[in-house]
Amino acid sequence: MLGDPDRPIWKGQRPWFEIWFAVVLDANRRRALWLRQTMFVPKVGEPRATIWGAWFDADARPPSRAAKRFVTMPEAPTVEGDVLVKFGDATLGRHGAVGSVEGLAWDATWSGGRDIPADVPSWLPTPTHTRPLVHDADATAKVTLGGPHAE
């Protein structure tokens, strides 16, 4: 049986990269949380993972905050249950994401929504692989911006 294609599929080859991301939109309040975890294995050198976070609030000053951090990557990332990827203390899964970067922390969950076609747009270069998980899900998120949090 093949492994779960939503989890890391890296088998030690170099160079290599994989990306997982989630976007949680609160259109009524003009806010959004963008999260990303990246696995990067250069042709030469140590593999690393990057945790990215961005908060957009059209009515705040400043209206956006973003940061990233690097963490060492295990030789074979393993996760269990609904978690799809875990680097350092940050997770991203089928039903939520938890993590932090400088000045921004998040604890988001999502459920329901509708499935979307797994078709890859024709303009993406080959051999791009993309797998959407859910669209229009119900979501909640606790976002901490260097102190107080927004929900």
More confident residue, 39 or 79: 39
Q: Is the pLDDT of residue 1 over 50?
A: no
CA distance to 17, 72, 96, 123, 128, per residue, from 24 (Å): 24, 27, 10, 25, 23
Around 28, how many Cα atoms within 13 Å sit in the side-chain half-sphere?
0
More confidently predicted of 89 and 119: 89
Read off the pLDDT band of 133 (50, 70, 90).
confident
- Specify the pLDDT at position 56: 96
- Rg over CA atoms, the chain: 16
pLDDT tens digits, 65-89? 999 999 988 765 667 888 999 999 9
Residues 6+ apart with CB under 8 A from 122: none
Confidence of residue 52 (pLDDT cuts 50, 70, 90): very high
Spatial contact of 134 and 7, defined as CB atoms under 8 Å apart: no
Q: What is the DSSP letter of 135?
A: B
Per-residue pLDDT reduced to its tens digit, 14-23: 998 889 889 9
Percent of the chain with pLDDT over 70: 82
Question: Would the pTM of this model clear 0.75, i.e. be above it?
Answer: yes
Does residue 129 have a pLDDT over 70? no
